[in-house]
Amino acid sequence: MNSVFILNERDFKTIYNDMLNQFQKCELKTYDFFLKLLNFTNYKIELFKINNQNIGYVSYYLSDFIWIDYLAVFKNFQSKGFGTQILHCLFNKYKNLNGAYFEVELEDEKKINTQKRMQFYKQKIKCIDTNIKYFMPNNFELFEMKLLYKPLNLKSLDNQIILNNIEEIFNVLYSNIINVDKIFDKIKHHLLK
């Protein structure tokens, strides 16, 4: 499996069209904001291929940790282990960083995909739950999610590290959200009480 970095709008269109089908509207950044992020050196979008076929993609922010923004496998290649392979390629590439964060939709017994997704992150990727009350910033509603962590070099986190990392992410990945400061304060309040 090889990957290419998406560097321009023309290359990003295919990925964004897939995102529109695979992610809830409240989880998705606007097309224009993605284009702005592509100009930011710490934000990456990688398209993964096998034999010149597009398999899936991942977008992420780099600091002393990785924040996975979006991960998806194209429909024809789902449930074949490619999501795991993509993440392992990423973990290997950035093995000197502390770890990786994932915002994951809460499990809902009425939605089997939410259960499969959580099982994927916890069992296949070996993520741990940060055990904080986390809300993903968006302009639609207060959207609670699980914040999971995959240790690489930093095996355990304390609440202050988590809070500092969230604050850094909110200042970059969610800087276009109107009430991002209020959402951060709500997370901080739950985390530090």
Give long-range contacts, CB 8 A cutoff, 24+ apart: 176-185. 176/29, 176/30, 176/33, 177/137, 177/138, 177/139, 178/139, 179/137, 179/139, 180/137, 183/135, 183/137, 183/142, 184/137
The average confidence (pLDDT) of the chain is 91
Which CATH number goes with the domain that contains 124? Answer: 3.40.630.30
Mean pLDDT for the stretch of residues 10-39: 91
DSSP E strand stretches across the chain: 2-5, 43-50, 53-62, 66-73, 99-105, 128-129, 134-136, 143-151
Residue 49 belongs to domain spanning: 2-192
pLDDT band at 193 (very low <50, low <70, confident <90, very high): low
Under 8 Å between Cβ of 73 and 50: no
Q: Is 9 helix (H, G, I), strand (E, B) or coil?
A: helix
Number of compact structural domains in the chain: 1
- Angle of helix 31-38 relative to helix 9-22, nearest 10 degrees, comes to 130
Q: Which of 66-70, 108-112, 120-124 has the lowest mean pLDDT?
A: 108-112
Q: Is 57 helix (H, G, I), strand (E, B) or coil?
A: strand
